[in-house]
Amino acid sequence: MTGGPVLFGVRHLSPAAAFQLRQALDAAAPALVLVEGPSDLNDQMKWLCHPETRFPAAILAYTQTPPVRTILYPFAVYSPEIQAILWAHEHGVECRFMDLPSGVFLALEANEPVSDAPEQEEQTERTESVYHRLETLTGEEHDTFWERNFEQLEEQYQTSANTFGRMLRESSLDDTRHTAETLVREAYMKRVIIQAVESGIPAEKIFCVCGAFHVAGLEENQPMTDEEEKALPRTDSTATLMPYSYYRLSSRSGYGAGNKAPAYFELLWKAMHGEGLQETPYLYLTRLAAAHRKAGNLVSSAEVIEAVRLADTLAALRGSRYPTLSDLRDASVTTMGHGNFSELALAAADTEIGKKIGFLPEGVSRTSVQEDFYRQLKELRLEKYRTAELQELNLDLREKLNVKSEQAALADLRRSFFLHRLRVLGIHFAAPLPSRQENANWGEYWELRWTPEAEIEVVESSLLGDTIEGAAAYALKERAENSATIAQAAAIFEDAFLCGMPAAAVHALTMLQGLSVDAAALTDVTETAWRLSFVIRYGDLRRFDTEPVIPLLKQLYLRACLTLEDSCVCDAKAAPDIARSMERLNALQLAHDFLEEERLLALLHTISDRDDLNPNCSGFALAILLERGTVGEELLAREVARRLSPGVPADLGAGWFEGLAAKNRRALIVRLSLWRRLDDYLKELDDMDFRRALVFLRRAFADFSPGEKNDVAENLGEIWGCSQAQAAELLMEETTANEQEVLSGLSDFDFDDI
């Protein structure tokens, strides 16, 4: 190939490379531009050149069968590859990708051997050792070294970048597999170049844009033969174009993958098209000052001027023509941050990384699930939440009676269905927040933030269905069929309910009914019953028929009642779970009048009376009865006297009080006689038993609010004849390490032998 082709080595996402590349293209006037990238993705170029496309954007290729594997090619406006594609489009010159097809990349990825962690760490160390050595020699991180020595080149950029790539290649210590993959890629790219020449295009009229690392390989190595090309592994793949974000580019920092400050590098790109790089300090520092002021901080014009002067001085001392980002940051920290980067951290993130997210025009090649996703975003008026900034969305699920159409009346409910379907699919666009209303069930609260990862997750969902609803239905069906416990099936049923998908809910309920025939732990039964209760209570709000759910809830409630008493024969470690189940049963009965109240109350009385059960459970049962008003003063006094009497071990007496104090604390605090009885009981214990009892009591008081602790201290102060402050000092202390050790020893205490 005498006289050509032109091999222009670049650093991916380099503004100087993109700027110098366009000048080199003008000078070369090629007939064909070849760009490093999967050769089967040429159809995406027309969308990259679309006038409505806004960068950053990325080409995503993914496998058509699970497990989904993906490869991503992100571009910013200052990417050399993008500028080469745009130049070719503007000048009517043919442009193609020349690297291995995406299906080959994905197949190679699937064939990578699984290594243990130490080998992976060693591999990474070998790959990055060149950069580490370079940073050691220069005293600067690689991004700063590149900016100071290459971004500021105004002449001989191509020669310098190609030479650097050759030296980098000679110094590289990549492992055998990665070296082999590099050689295969270069052989394929050279094959594409040879085929272009054989098609009649003069070699000197071919312009190749590739990573500087590959230039030497394209110059020296042999092209891939037909037999070698046929032997390449392949897998079926599909590609789509997706919006990308500067935040994601910054998190993929490193040579060939991204840069740590994409918004800053775009600023360099703009400076190159304006007054030149001498304009950079003014652009950066004024934007930084504006962002700092926006955050509510004071920045004077004098501080900005001093920062510009200091940055120029630092650049001169460090041997560069213009200040780099490192120089600008040091100068701004000194003048505007008063020596502390923490003062400028938010403004620096906004100025250096930015919040920009790309945009693609309608009609861009997408999967059907992507199309459905964006259609619903627009229809549900959620497009404004597709930003890198975290935003809250408050929904009112009640029907709005002051609007004309049913669609508008149920707008928030439809938004809720959509967001829950995304959650079920594992699309991390929206996350639910806890309810903010104790007595209202109509409010739903979400946090929304868009990331490129969410777009990838939308694409991956296309393997499950053609729409968001269809994919969510398949995901729920698959989970239901793989559920092994009633608690798992109940969680799926609740998800289907929240997604507004009755058919999926019926299927999950069928699976749940089948699993409910088998024996299950009390905690699983009460958890399942609680989920079913949630559906029944809020069914009308979500337009869901709850009649088929009621018989199953009755059945589970009865089973829980029948097993609760025996479950209270447990150790201290299991007691909190049993108490939670007891509280769930109590809440279920209060929420639904069709559940037998007499059966539960009789059961709680039995548990509170028995001495051979876990005392914590017995105390908690009495606390529920006290809260429900079914225990009189006489019965409470008798139980207190019996449980806190001389001779009762500290583990039992204090453990019982811990259960009693777990709820309805106000009713206990106002009963001074209870605290007198507790005080008398503690006085009668020997030193060892007192220490053990104290650990239980400290734990019992740990969840008391400060106000409740003060009220208890007031009671004890009256009993002890001391001030409230002195009594409160003991209650407010945290459990010590020695006390925690005593507690851990009590966790294995078996109450079966009581």
pLDDT attached to residue 617? 94
User: Per-residue pLDDT tens for 281-320?
Assistant: 999 999 999 999 998 999 999 999 999 999 999 999 998 8
Q: What is the pLDDT of residues 661-685, one digit of tens each?
A: 877 766 666 666 666 766 676 677 6
Between CA 146 and CA 133 the distance in angstroms is: 14
Taking the C-alpha atoms of residue 215 and residue 169, their distance in angstroms, rounded to an integer, is: 10
Task: Using the predicted structure, report yes or no on whether residue 747 has a pLDDT greater than 70.
Answer: no
* Statement: residue 127 has pLDDT above 50: no
HEC sequence for 440-472:
CCCEEEEEECCCHHHHHHHHHHHHCCCCHHHHH
Q: Express as a percent the part of the chain with pLDDT over 90.
A: 50
Identity at 638, one-letter amino acid code: R
Structure letter (DSSP) for residue 63: E
CA–CA separation, 512 and 493 (whole Å): 8
Any long-range contacts for 504-509 (C-beta under 8 Å, 24+ apart)? 504/472, 504/473, 504/476, 504/477, 504/480, 505/544, 506/548, 507/476, 507/477, 507/480, 508/476, 508/480, 509/548, 509/549, 509/552
694-721: pLDDT as tens digits: 666 666 666 677 777 676 667 666 666 5
pLDDT tens per residue across span 522-543:
999 999 999 999 999 888 888 8
Average pLDDT of the residues in 481-490: 89
Residue 751: pLDDT over 50: no
More confident call, 634 vs 277: 277
Q: What is the average pLDDT value for the chain, to the nearest integer?
A: 84
Overall average pLDDT of the 46-61 stretch: 92
E-only strand ranges, 145-302: 206-211, 237-243
Query: Could you tell me which residue, 354 or 174, shows the higher pLDDT?
Result: 354
Q: What is the pLDDT of residue 725?
A: 65
Amino acid, single-letter form, for residue 399: E
Q: What is the mean pLDDT of residues 449-475?
A: 87
Does the pTM surpass 0.85? The reply is no
Q: Which helix (H) or strand (E) holds 654?
A: helix 650-660
- How confident is the model at residue 120, as a pLDDT? 38
Query: Interhelix angle for 280-294 vs 301-317, to 10°?
Result: 140
Give the pair of three-digit tokens for residue 472. Answer: 């969510």
Which SS3 state, helix, strand or coil, does residue 748 take?
A: coil
* 252 pLDDT higher than 70: no
**Model confidence at 119, in pLDDT bands (50, 70, 90)?**
very low
Q: For residue 113, how far is the Cα from the chain centroid?
A: 28
Beta carbons of 336 and 292 less than 8 angstroms apart: yes
Cβ neighbours of 580 (radius 10 Å): 17
Are the beta carbons of 259 and 13 closer than 8 angstroms? yes
Q: What is the CA radius of gyration of the chain?
A: 35
Pick the residue with more confidence: 107 or 400?
Answer: 107
pLDDT of residue 178: 82
- In whole angstroms, what is the distance from residue 469 CA to residue 255 CA? 40
- 606's tokens: 């039995």
3-class secondary-structure state, position 478: helix
Dihedral angle of Cα 324, 328, 330, 335, to the nearest 10 degrees: 160
| Type of residue at 710 | N
Tens digits of residue pLDDT in 101-114: 999 999 988 776 54
Element (H, E) at 107: helix 102-110
pLDDT of residue 201: 95
3-state secondary structure string across 396-453: ECCCCCCCCCHHHHCHHHHHHHHHHHHHHCCCCCEEEECCCCCCCCCEEEEEECCCHH
The reported pLDDT for the residue numbered 457 is: 87
- pLDDT value at residue 175: 72
Q: What is the pLDDT of residue 494?
A: 93
Name the band, by pLDDT with cuts 50, 70 and 90, for residue 278.
Answer: very high
Q: Are 422 and 372 in contact (CB under 8 A)?
A: no
What single-letter DSSP state applies at residue 150? I
Q: Is the pLDDT assigned to residue 75 strictly greater than 90?
A: yes
Among candidate residues 258, 252, 261, 254, the one with its CA nearest the CA of residue 131: 254
Q: What pLDDT, in 10s, does the model give residues 553-606?
A: 999 999 999 999 999 999 888 999 999 999 999 999 999 999 999 999 999 999
Order of strands, sheet of 443-448, starting from the edge strand that comes earlier in the sequence: 391-396, 443-448, 430-433
Separation between Cα atoms, residue 632 and residue 91, nearest integer Å: 93
Mean pLDDT, residues 382-396:
90
pLDDT tens digit sequence for 310-342: 999 999 999 889 999 999 999 999 999 989 999
- pLDDT computed for residue 121 by the predictor: 40
pLDDT in tens, 135-171: 777 778 888 888 888 998 877 888 999 999 898 888 8
User: What is the distance between the alpha carbons of residues 38 and 240, in angstroms, rounded to a whole number?
Assistant: 13
Find, among 8, 26, 78, the residue nearest to 272 by Cα. 78
**Mean of pLDDT values over 401-420:** 86
Mean pLDDT of 200-204: 94
133: tokens are: 């050595």
pLDDT for 579 equals: 93
Q: What is the DSSP pairing of strand 6-10 with strand 206-211?
A: parallel
For the record, the structure tokens of 129 come out as 């050792």
Contacts of 85 (CB under 8 A, 6+ apart): 33, 35, 45, 48, 49, 95
**Mean per-residue pLDDT for 403-423?**
88
605-664 per-position pLDDT tens digit: 999 999 899 999 998 999 899 888 888 777 877 877 787 777 777 678 778 878 888 777
For residue 753, what pLDDT is reported? 38
Least confident of 2-11, 393-402, 725-734: 725-734
